[in-house]
Structure 1
Amino acid sequence: MEKATQFVDLVKTQKSFEEIKYWTWSELLIALKQCQESLANSSTMLKKCMDLLCQKISLADGGTTSSASSVNSSRFRLSCDSKSTESLKTNSASTTWWFDDLLVFTTESLEIFVQSMILHEFDQILLSKFLIHFQKSKFLSAATDEKRKVIESVVDMLDTLDENVLSLKALFDILRVSLGLNINKDSKNRLEAMIGSRLGHATLDNLLVPSPCGANYLYDVKLVLRLFKAFLSGGLNQASQLSKAANLMDLYMAEVAPDPCLKSTRFLALALAVPDSARKSYDEMYHAIDLYFEMHAGMTEEEKEKISCALNHKKLSYEVGIHFSKNTKFQSKSTRSIPESPKPETESLLENINYSKSLINWPHNLTKEEKSSEQIVLYHGKFDVVPADNERFKVQLEGMQWRVVELEKLCRKMQTQMRKILKSRVASSHCQVKSLPKLCS
C-alpha cells in the first residue's frame, strides 16, 4: 500500500520518474493494479510504466526484444533486487510466466501495454497468445458488458499484429464467442476481415457456426458469405488459395443443403460466392445442388433455374455430365445438354492422320490385308513431299503413323488369340459330349 500511495503521488506531482525504475516487478504490479484507473487521465505516465514492464520482461526472458529496447538495460538491472531477479529467472523457463500477472490490467491498460510491446519488437506470436489468454481468463468471471469490452479490445489489438502470427482456430473461437455479445460494428468487421484474409487455410468445421439465436435455419450462412467476401476483397490471393476456398465452399454447400429452412436465395448466394476461375471442376457443386433440390421438393421451376445457371457445364466431368443430363430434378432443357463422349485415343489418332491427307501429299503405295473376319489397313512408306516449313509436323505425323501400325499389330495378335480360345472351347465341348454315357440302348 505504501508503494501504491507513493506511485500515485509521483503521478499527481509529476515528479521524476527515475525512482520508479528501481522498483521490483512485484512492487510495480501492485502499484499499477491499484492506480491504473487514476492513471487513465495521464496516458504519458501510464505508457512509461508499461515500457518499464516490457523491459523487465525482456530482461527476465534473456532479451526477447530488439536492441532499441535495451538502451537503458544497464541501469535497469539495478531495479531488481537479488531475490526478485532469481525469481524472475526461475519463472522465465517458460516464456509465458508473465501472462497471469498481467490479468490485473483494465482494457485501457492492455491496449497501452500491447502498443509498447510492439514498439519494443517483442515476439508477436507470443503477444497474440497473451491476448487470447487474457480474453479467456477474463471471461471466467466477467459480466456480459465486461466481456463485450474485453472482446472488442482484444480484437482491436490483434488487428495491429502481423496477420501471419494469428491462429486461425483462435480467431474462429473468438468469433463464436462474440456472436452472442453484440460487439460494435468496427470490431466485428476487423475480426471478419482477419479471418477472411486466411480463409484458404480454414476447414469445414471452422465454418459450421450455428445460426443466431431465434433463427430457424441451422448454420449462419450470412456469416460465411461475409467471410468469403472479405477473402476475395483482399485481392492478393494466389490461385492455390482460391482453389482451396472453392473446395471449401463446395463442402459447405453440401453440408447445409439438407437444411429444410435454408432459403433458395441464400443457397444461390453460396453458389455464386466464388468466381468461376477458382474452380477446375463443378462436380462437387453439382452434387450439392442435386442434394438441395432433393431436400426442397417444393421449389418453383424459376428458383431451380437460377441455381442451375450457377453451374458451368463445361467443367463437369463426363460421368457427372451424363448424370446431369438424365437428372429429372434439373428440368430446364436449355441446361440439360448431353455431353460429348470422349473419343478413344486410337480413334483420335486415325482422325488426325486422315485429316492430314488434305495437307500433305501422301504416298500411294498403301496395301490392304483382307481376311475373312476383318479388314485392316497398313500404312507403309514415308512422307516424300513435305514443305520445309512443315518439317516439324512431318515428324509428328510419322510418330502417329508408327503408333497406329503398332496398335494394328496388337489387334491382330489379340484376334488370333481369341480364335485359338474359341477353338479350344469348341473342341473340349465335343469331348464332353462323346464321353457322356448312353441313357437309351
Structure 2
Amino acid sequence: MLFPHKTRLTMKRAGLNQLSRSCRPSVYGRRRNHCVIVPAKVGRISNALERREHTWFVRTNDVSDLTVIVGEDSFHLHKVHLHAPSFQIPMLSKSGYLNKLVFNRMNNEAADSSISMHIDNLPGGCQIFQLVVKFCYGVAVDLTATNVAPLYCAAYFLEMTEDFGHGNLISKAQAFLSFIIFSSWRDTFNIFTSCEDVSFWAQELGIVKQCSESIAWKACLDPQAIGRVVNDDELCFKILTNNNNSKNKDGGASEIVEECWWFKDVSVLRIDHFVEAICAIKTKGATPRLVGNCIAYWTSKWLQKFKLHSDSREAHRDTIESLIRVLPNEKNSVCCNFLLHLLKAGWMLNIDHELTTELEKRVAMMLECCCAGDLIVKNYRENDTVYDVSLVIRVVQAYATHFTRDLTSGMRLAATVVDDYLALVARDDMLSVKAFQLLVEALPADARHCNDKLYRAIDMYLKAHPKLTEEDRRIVSRAMEYHKLSKEAREHAMKNDRLPLNIVARLTLSEQVNATKSILSNNLKYRRSESEETVRATRGIDNSRWFKYHKKLQMMKAEVEKMKLQVCSLQVCKVELQRQMRIAPK
C-alpha cells in the first residue's frame, strides 16, 4: 500500500488537477511531501528494528541466522522460517540480489548454519539498508524527498522488482519519486542533494534527468503568467493548477515574477547537477542571455567559496572546465567581466589549453564593445598589483592577433578601451614599467588616431611613480606619437616636467618648426599680396616712386631668404637630435 502522510489518499487518481488536489495539504501547507509504504504481502511481520551501537536486530521470536554487514553496521536477519523451513522470509523473497547470494552460500554450507555476508557498495549505505529491511519485514517506511532517491537506487541494486512480488520496493519508490518531482519545486532540489552520495546510480536510473527536466519546465514558463508568492512550493502549486489569477487572497494585485526568479534555487546545485539542469533549460528554449546570467550567478556564489588547495585543485579544475563548456555560444549571452574572472580562475588551475585559448578569443571579440570597467579583475595576493593587468594584456594580444585585419574603426574602439583601462590602473604603485609597456604596445601603432588618452594615462603613471629613472620614463613614453596629440595636449606636454627630456625636446622642436612654417607661409602670402598691390600702384606714376617700391620689394625678398635659412638650420638641429636619440641606449 502507498498513501500520503495523514491524508491516506492513493496515487491512483489520474489527471493533473486531481493529482494537485491530492498533494495540496503537503505542498500548499508548506510541509515536505512524504508518504508511508508497506509491502503488499509479507511472510513475517515485525514490530520494530532495534539498534545497539552498530548492530541492528529485528524484533521477532526467531533466532537470527543471516547477518548482512553494510559499511560499519551489521544487520541480524533471517534466511528461513524456523518452524516452516520451506517458507522464505520477505527479505529473500523480495530481493533477487540477496536471494542469489544466500542460496549460493547455502549450497556450499549446511542448510541450518548461519550465513554472514558483506555488501560494500550498496547505494545509500547502512541508513538506506535499514529502510529496506523495515520494508521487507512489514514495518512502515516513511518516504521523504531526502531518502526516496537513494532508496530507489538501493532497490535497483538489490533487484527488488515486480518479478519478486507485486508492489515491490522499486515500483513504490519510483511512483513516489515521479510524483514528488512533478509536484514540488523545493523538494526537487532536496532530491538533487540526496543524489550526491549515489551519483552513479542516480545518473544511470535517470533521476538526475527527471529532476533537471522538471526544473527546466518550470523555469521556462512565461514569468508574466506567474504571480509572485511567498513560498516556493506555493509558487509551484500555482503553476501546477494553472492558478494564474491577477488577484491574491487579500484582494491585492500580485506582482509579476522576475524572469530570473529561479537563479537562487538552482545555484545550490553541485556542478554536475547544475550542468544537467542548464542543459535541460537550454533544450526547453530559454534565451541564451538568461542561461548565461544563471551560469554567472552560480559561478559568483561558487567563487566566493573558492580556495586553492592542493587536494581540491582537480575538483576546481573540472568545475571551471564544465562551466566553460556549458556556456551559450551566442556573443552577448554573458558579460565580458564574467568571462575574464572565469579565464583568471582557469589560468590559476591550469585547465585545458584549448578551452583557455577559446575563452581568450571570446573575450577578445567583446573588446570593441565593452568599457574599461569591464576589464577590472582584482588580485588578492600580497605584493601583487591591485588589478590583474597580465590578464588584460593577454586578451588584448589575442585581439591584435585574431581580430585586427581590416577593422580600422573597431581597432580604434578597442584602443580607446585600452587607454581608458591604462588610466584606471596607472595609479597602482605595484604596476611595473614592463607591464605598462606591454599593454600600451599590445595593439598596432596605427590603432590610435589620437594619442590624447594615451598621454593622459602616461602622465598619470609617471605622477604615481615619481622615482622612475630617466630610462624608465623613456620606455613608458616612447609609444606616444607627438604629431597625434591635440594642440592642448601638446601645450601641456611641453610644460610637463614628468616627461623625459628627449620627449620634451622633441615636442618643443616640433612645435617651433610648425610655428616657423606657419609664420613663413603667412608672410609669403602677405608679401605676395603686398607686391601685387605695389605693382598696380606704380602704374601711371613716375619712375622715382617705382624704384622706391622696388627697393622695398628687394628688402622683403632678402628677409624671406633669411627666414628660409633659419628653417634649414632648425631642420639640421632636428635631424641631429633624432640621430642622438637613436644612438642613445634604450
TM-score by length of 2: 0.46
Is 1:107 the counterpart of 2:271 in the alignment?
Answer: yes
Paired residues of 2:293 and 2:333 also in contact (CA < 8 A): no
- The answer for the alignment partner of 1:385 in structure 2 is none
- The answer for the alignment partner of 2:481 in structure 1 is 312
Q: Which amino acid aligns with 1:223?
A: L
Is 1:235 the counterpart of 2:380 in the alignment?
Answer: no
Paired residues of 1:128 and 1:166 also in contact (CA < 8 A): yes
Paired residues of 2:336 and 2:375 also in contact (CA < 8 A): no
Is 1:86 the counterpart of 2:86 in the alignment?
Answer: no
Paired residues of 1:322 and 1:338 also in contact (CA < 8 A): no
- The answer for the alignment partner of 1:185 in structure 2 is 351
- The answer for the alignment partner of 2:153 in structure 1 is 8
- The answer for the alignment partner of 2:381 in structure 1 is 213
Match of 1:200 among 365, 368, 373: 368
- Gapped runs of 5+ residues in structure 2? 1-142, 162-169, 226-235, 246-254, 540-548, 550-586
Q: Deviations over 1:154-196 (max 9, x none)?
A: 74256344231213455566678x59x9444347666655443
Give the deviation of 1:107 after TM superposition. 0.7
Give the deviation of 1:124 after TM superposition. 1.7
- Number of equivalences: 342
Identify the range of structure 1 (148-157 vs 315-324) with the bigger mean alpha-carbon deviation. Answer: 148-157
In 1, the alpha carbon distance for the partners of 2:292 and 2:276 equals 15
- The answer for the alignment partner of 2:216 in structure 1 is 54
Aligned-pair identity in percent equals 20
Is 1:34 the counterpart of 2:194 in the alignment?
Answer: yes
Give the deviation of 1:261 after TM superposition. 4.0
Give the deviation of 1:234 after TM superposition. 4.2
Paired residues of 2:377 and 2:388 also in contact (CA < 8 A): yes
In 2, the alpha carbon distance for the partners of 1:294 and 1:143 equals 37
Q: Which amino acid aligns with 2:382?
A: G
Paired residues of 2:379 and 2:387 also in contact (CA < 8 A): yes
Is 1:332 the counterpart of 2:496 in the alignment?
Answer: no
> Which structure has the highest helix share of the two?
1
SS across alignment from 1:165: coil
In 1, the alpha carbon distance for the partners of 2:386 and 2:482 equals 30
Is 1:167 the counterpart of 2:335 in the alignment?
Answer: yes
Paired residues of 2:220 and 2:281 also in contact (CA < 8 A): no
Is 1:277 the counterpart of 2:277 in the alignment?
Answer: no
Paired residues of 1:304 and 1:330 also in contact (CA < 8 A): yes
Give the deviation of 1:85 after TM superposition. 0.4
Is 1:249 the counterpart of 2:418 in the alignment?
Answer: yes
Aligned-pair Cα RMSD in Å: 4.9
Is 1:268 the counterpart of 2:434 in the alignment?
Answer: no
In 1, the alpha carbon distance for the partners of 2:450 and 2:524 equals 27
Rg comparison, structure with higher value? 2
Match of 2:288 among 108, 124, 146: 124
In 1, the alpha carbon distance for the partners of 2:451 and 2:306 equals 48
Q: Which amino acid aligns with 1:55?
A: W
- Gapped runs of 5+ residues in structure 1? 64-80, 355-362, 376-441
Over 3 Å counting, the alpha-carbon distance change for 1:88 and 1:264 in structure 2 is farther
SS across alignment from 2:501: coil
Correspondence list, 1:295-374, <5 A: 295-296=464-465, 298-321=467-490, 324=493, 329-332=499-502, 335-336=506-507, 337-339=509-511, 340-341=514-515, 343=518, 347=522, 367-368=536-537
Q: Which amino acid aligns with 1:124?
A: P
Q: Deviations over 1:218-261 (max 9, x none)?
A: 44322221232233344178544432322232233334444444
Match of 1:24 among 182, 186, 210: 182
Paired residues of 2:450 and 2:486 also in contact (CA < 8 A): yes
Over 3 Å counting, the alpha-carbon distance change for 1:10 and 1:111 in structure 2 is farther
